Amino acid sequence: MSVPRVKRLAAFVADQIAAGEVVERPSSIVKELIENSLDAGATQIDVRTEAGGVALTWVQDNGHGIDAQDLELAFERHATSKIVDAKDLLGVESLGFRGEALASLSSVARVKLSSAIAGSASGAVREVHGGKLVHQGPIAHNQGTTVDVRDLFFNIPARRKFLKTQRTEMSRIDQVVRRLSLAHMGVGFSLQQAGENASSKARRFALPAGRINERLTQVLSKSFVDESVVIEESRDDYRLHGWVGLPNHHRRQTDQQFFYVNGRAITDKVVGHAIRQAYADVMFHGRHAVFVLFLELPPAVVDVNVHPTKHEVRFRDARRVHDFIFGSLNRVLREVRPDAVENASAPANTAQEPTTQYNTWKSPSAQPGLVLSGPGGSNSGLLPLVAEHSPAWSVLDSTSKTLQAHMDTPPLGFAIAQLHGVYILAQNQQGLVMVDMHAAHERVTYEKLKAQAAKQYVSRQRLLVPAHVDVSVAEADLVEDMAEQLQAVGLVVERVGQQAVSVREIPALLSQQDIQLMITDLLAELAEFGASEEISRRQLDLLASVACHGSVRANRALSLLEMNTLLREMEHTENAGLCNHGRPTYFTYAMEALDKLFYRGQ
Ligand code: ADP
Ligand code: MG
């Protein structure tokens, strides 16, 4: 057999190979062309496609245009106006810089590019079909550039086979335009797609420049605008800003997670992990957060040139990026608390849709700390809820009405009754507050346990008589295996037989009632789901389970004092609007909403 000789590839073949990376599918053409328009400083970009971009992809902009003399060069591989030498790569701020898109594209499709620069008498056009120049000359054109791409992969039929259905390609194009539009609010975009399903609304939209809420509504949803908070955090030369969906605004897919590094949409493991961790405690299991986030870093600390399409990046200090994102989001999500009295004038909830109102809220602890001892001044001891904050309210029983009248009502109001052993009904300044007592107590207990665990010490109470619990063999094994971890969260449990364990100490925060039930439920859960891999996460899971199974259960009568204590604790608890499983802990009905329900004053 003869040894194959090494040969240099013809430039055209090299272009086609490069095209495989840059022009993967029609949506990647749309991305490359829009990025060129953005780099050219366009303020309006219009996109049209036919047949999912295979028959036609057309992008027009009003950017600075291309000088007629440069038109030929623009189609050549590694020809770019954006960087000059390798050191520029360290600080690259343009979206493109590899000089590959037009060369790649014109090697696998019929490309016609027309452009004019400011102040020139006429524009210029250049047409290249599958790498062959077919026409070049002057053309009338406004300042800006129009790229018309037809018959994608006409000369490589094999590549066409890899394309998905027209509908799929259309929705990918739709996504690309939306994704890019979020990072450039000052630029107007429009998209028109002809083809199957062309009548569908998603195939046609216009996003006028500068109207931010309208864009967020069109690209994400109206509810995202209502159920998100603005984030703006800086540390040294790092900045994170944008909108984060509240934990109760979640989705089944990750399709509304938009993350940009220096204006470039990217996917990255480190970033994904930091965000998931920040939401871990408050997100409903198996659901996904919604956000639009922009991370701005000095260009020199992020390498964008790790992938031809540049949707992956490499951070010089990944740990710092991770901690900055996690810390910033964590802080913002934690500030989400029950609505404050100062927001009493917020729009009334409709009667049909009670809402848990979230706000980044200042705690009312600035109240003068007068200590009251009402009729229920001593804790009945049933519910191990000891208010650690705001003595002004902690012992206030609803019978102390005269005193109440002289004070501002706290955000979650005062308890008036317990409904079917499940819900606490309370009255605040705006109207009715309904609290799921188990969910709320669970969150309060969890956050307290977490705070203690963070200080390496969960305070425990020794049981006078150790509680004997019958369990399965697997559960008893688990107790043996996890003894140390259980102790770290305040549970001292020992195996005392094949199928028996003995509980000697429990977290001081938990009620001594139902210990058997708590341990049985906890072990059953651990046996079924196992403990998660990560140590920090594992401890949180355990704390959450302990809090869940150790919190007040339904059908337990609470005194008004206990109820009020719980309400006060909620006001001082991080993430109080959601239980550990991401379910809401309370709803409020403003008087206006109740009046509506009864057609009062109509
Ligand atoms: P890159 O964007 O990496 O520089 P491209 O192949 O995408 O490479 O484009 C080559 C060059 O053509 C660009 O550097 C730019 O000078 C010019 N160009 C392409 N599209 C436009 C446009 N829409 N407006 C102005 N100039 C453009
Ligand atoms: Mg480019």
pLDDT in tens, 191-248: 999 987 655 545 788 999 999 999 999 999 988 998 899 999 999 999 999 999 988 8
Q: Are 190 and 215 in contact (CB under 8 A)?
A: no
Distance 299 CA to ligand 1 centre (A): 21
- One domain for residues 183 and 51: yes
Supply φ then ψ for residue 233, to 5 degrees. Answer: -130, 140
Q: What is the pLDDT of residue 10?
A: 78
Question: What is the tally of structural domains in the chain?
Answer: 4
The Cα 159–Cα 384 span in angstroms is 68
433 lines ligand 1 (CB under 6 A): no
pLDDT-derived band at 529, boundaries 50, 70, 90: low
Using CA positions, which residue lies closest to atom 12 of ligand 1? 74
The Cα 365–Cα 384 span in angstroms is 22
37 lines ligand 1 (CB under 6 A): yes
Counting from 1 in the atom list of ligand 1, the atom nearest the Cα of 94 is 2
- CATH value at residue 513: 3.30.1370.100
Distance 262 CA to ligand 2 centre (A): 16
Q: What is the pLDDT of residue 580?
A: 67
- Range 63-90 average pLDDT: 85
Whether residue 485 is contained in a domain is answered as: yes
Distance 171 CA to ligand 1 centre (A): 25
Could you give the 3-state DSSP secondary structure of residue 291? strand
The residue to which tokens 């999912």 are assigned: 52
66 lines ligand 1 (CB under 6 A): yes
116 lines ligand 1 (CB under 6 A): no
Judge residue 204's burial from the number of C-beta atoms within 10 Å of its C-beta, 0-12 exposed, 13-18 middle, 19 or more buried: middle
For residue 425 the two structure tokens come to: 């009904």
Kindly report the pTM of this predicted structure: 0.66
Comparing CA positions, the residue from 447, 461, 463, 323 lying closest to residue 389 is 447
- One domain for residues 63 and 137: yes
- One domain for residues 150 and 275: no
- One domain for residues 388 and 272: no
Is 3 a residue whose pLDDT tops 90? Answer: no
- CATH value at residue 178: 3.30.565.10
Contacts of 25 by beta carbon, 8 Å cutoff, 6+ apart: 53, 162, 163, 164, 169, 172
- CATH value at residue 578: 3.30.1540.20
Q: Are 559 and 321 in contact (CB under 8 A)?
A: no
- One domain for residues 316 and 387: no
Q: Which of 149, 180, 209 finishes a domain?
A: 209
- CATH value at residue 301: 3.30.230.10
458 lines ligand 1 (CB under 6 A): no
Using CA positions, which residue lies closest to atom 13 of ligand 1? 80
Is 383 a residue whose pLDDT tops 50? Answer: no
Is 536 a residue whose pLDDT tops 80? Answer: no
Is 260 a residue whose pLDDT tops 60? Answer: yes
Distance 101 CA to ligand 1 centre (A): 8
Q: Which of 195-204, 264-273, 368-377 has maximum average pLDDT?
A: 264-273
Distance 81 CA to ligand 1 centre (A): 7
Distance 535 CA to ligand 2 centre (A): 44
Q: Percent of the chain at pLDDT above 70?
A: 84
- One domain for residues 468 and 431: no
The Cα 575–Cα 128 span in angstroms is 59
Comparing CA positions, the residue from 154, 164, 163, 180 lying closest to residue 47 is 180
Q: Are 316 and 302 in contact (CB under 8 A)?
A: yes
Could you give the 3-state DSSP secondary structure of residue 43? coil
Whether residue 196 is contained in a domain is answered as: yes
Q: Which of 209, 242, 271 finishes a domain?
A: 209
Counting from 1 in the atom list of ligand 1, the atom nearest the Cα of 104 is 6
Whether residue 43 is contained in a domain is answered as: yes
- One domain for residues 185 and 72: yes
Using CA positions, which residue lies closest to atom 1 of ligand 1? 99
Using CA positions, which residue lies closest to atom 8 of ligand 1? 99
Comparing CA positions, the residue from 385, 395, 407, 401 lying closest to residue 341 is 407
143 lines ligand 1 (CB under 6 A): no
Q: Which of 304, 335, 366 finishes a domain?
A: 335
For residues 80 and 139, which has the higher predicted lDDT (pLDDT)?
Answer: 139
Whether residue 423 is contained in a domain is answered as: yes
Whether residue 6 is contained in a domain is answered as: no
596 lines ligand 1 (CB under 6 A): no
The Cα 16–Cα 139 span in angstroms is 28
- One domain for residues 436 and 477: no
pLDDT in tens, 323-362: 999 999 988 887 765 543 333 333 333 333 444 443 333 3
pLDDT in tens, 151-178: 999 998 888 887 888 888 998 999 999 9
Residue 427 φ/ψ region, left for φ over 0, alpha for ψ in the -120 to 50 degree band, beta for the rest: beta
Distance 180 CA to ligand 2 centre (A): 14
- One domain for residues 294 and 411: no
- One domain for residues 186 and 286: no
Using CA positions, which residue lies closest to atom 17 of ligand 1? 74
Whether residue 3 is contained in a domain is answered as: no
Domain boundaries, position 424: 358-452+556-597
Half-sphere exposure (CA, 13 Å, Cβ side) for 289?
27
Among the listed ranges 24-33, 498-507, 540-549, 592-601, which one has the minimum average pLDDT value? Answer: 540-549
Q: Which of 232-236, 331-335, 401-405, 470-474 has maximum average pLDDT?
A: 232-236
For residues 527 and 384, which has the higher predicted lDDT (pLDDT)?
Answer: 527
**Residues pairing with 189 in the sheet:** 45, 207
- One domain for residues 65 and 179: yes
The Cα 590–Cα 586 span in angstroms is 13
**Residues pairing with 228 in the sheet:** 245
Is 43 a residue whose pLDDT tops 80? Answer: yes
**Residues pairing with 8 in the sheet:** none
Distance 152 CA to ligand 1 centre (A): 19
Counting from 1 in the atom list of ligand 1, the atom nearest the Cα of 145 is 23
The Cα 548–Cα 438 span in angstroms is 8
Distance 134 CA to ligand 2 centre (A): 22
Q: How far is CA 440 from the centre of its chain?
A: 24
- One domain for residues 163 and 191: yes
Whether residue 394 is contained in a domain is answered as: yes
- From residue 343, alpha-carbon distances to 127, 245, 308, 336, 559 in Å are 61, 20, 50, 14, 29
Q: Are 336 and 359 in contact (CB under 8 A)?
A: yes
Whether residue 341 is contained in a domain is answered as: no
Q: Could you say which ligand is closest to the alpha carbon of residue 145?
A: 1
The Cα 240–Cα 1 span in angstroms is 61
In one letter, which amino acid is 130?
G
User: First vs last Cα of the chain: how many Å apart?
Assistant: 96
Could you give the 3-state DSSP secondary structure of residue 186? coil
- From residue 376, alpha-carbon distances to 194, 233, 400, 425 in Å are 72, 45, 10, 19
Choose the residue to mutate in 97, 102, 111, 307 for probing ligand 1, maximizing ligand atoms within 8 Å of C-beta.
102
- Give the CA-trace dihedral at 593, 595, 601, 602, to 10 degrees: 60
